[in-house]
Amino acid sequence: MKKIIVIGASGTIGKGIVEQLGLRHEVITVGRNSGQFQVKIEDPASVEALFQKVGKVDGVVVSAGDLHFGPLAEMSAEQFQVGLNSKLMGQVNVALAAQKYLNDGGSITLTSGSVSENPIRFGANASTVNRAVEGFVMGAAVELQRGLRINVISPTLVDESVEAYGPYFYGMETVPVKRVALAYSRSVEGAENGKTYRVW
């Protein structure tokens, strides 16, 4: 049995990850305002404090991070910064800190999204950030030590979020959260490193 932190545990995908990994492992749920522990991933000090409280673990999963959706013609640099600060640097902050707290052979699993390759209207910030997260994982994988691994899951829109985000994704197939959660399981429990698992 592994000890795994799931950041973003109360989200739609997060709940699916907790359910899947919880079948076999001890899962520590973390959120901004919910879960067993709270963290603000945008703040490196908050991330460090989380790991100090939880201690050594075998896996860290992040399915959290904000993005800005809106028309490019009206987008401000400040709005664009939302995704860079939150979904990109937030996940990078977690990965950088996790290195010290993971047991040998442990894993880090981050989250991007299908708009890294399938752009949508109002999604320039999301496409940029998701592709950057994938780039970080590719670069970090070759440098991790002690048998540590890092992967990224790139899900398309999940069935459970169609009501909220469906209009952004017309014409694209959706997938059930349960299927997306299996990719996180594969990253945590498998052997691959530096991989982007696309669940489209």
Read off the pLDDT of residues 87-134 as tens digits, 9 standing for 90 and up: 999 999 999 999 999 999 999 999 999 999 999 999 999 999 999 999
Instruction: Using DSSP bridges, classify how beta strands 102-111 and 3-7 pair: parallel, antiparallel or unpaired.
Output: unpaired
CA angle 181, 184, 190 (to 5 degrees): 130
What is the share, in percent, of the chain residues with pLDDT greater than 90? 100
Q: Indicate yes or no: pTM above 0.85.
A: yes
Tell me what pLDDT residue 6 has.
Answer: 98
Residue 148: pLDDT band with limits 50, 70, 90 = very high
When pLDDT is averaged across residues 42-68 and rounded to a whole number, the result is: 98
Domains of the chain in start order, with CATH, are 3-199 (3.40.50.720)
| 89 Cβ contact partners less than 8 Å away, ≥ 6 residues apart | 42
Tell me what pLDDT residue 103 has.
Answer: 98
Residue 174: pLDDT band with limits 50, 70, 90 = very high
**Which of 199, 191, 11 is closest to 107 using CA atoms?**
191
Phi, psi of 151 (to 5 degrees): -135, 170
Tell me what pLDDT residue 74 has.
Answer: 98
When pLDDT is averaged across residues 183-195 and rounded to a whole number, the result is: 98
Token code pair at residue 112: 């991007």
When pLDDT is averaged across residues 66-86 and rounded to a whole number, the result is: 98
What are the start-end ranges of the E strands in 26-148?
Answer: 26-31, 37-38, 57-62, 102-111
Phi, psi of 59 (to 5 degrees): -155, 145
Token code pair at residue 183: 């990719």
The C-alpha atoms of residue 118 and residue 7 are separated, in whole angstroms, by: 26
Instruction: Using DSSP bridges, classify how beta strands 196-199 and 57-62 pair: parallel, antiparallel or unpaired.
Output: unpaired
What is the share, in percent, of the chain residues with pLDDT greater than 70? 100
Q: What is the mean pLDDT of the chain?
A: 97
When pLDDT is averaged across residues 4-10 and rounded to a whole number, the result is: 98
How many CB atoms sit inside 10 A of residue 194's CB? Answer: 16
Tell me what pLDDT residue 185 has.
Answer: 98
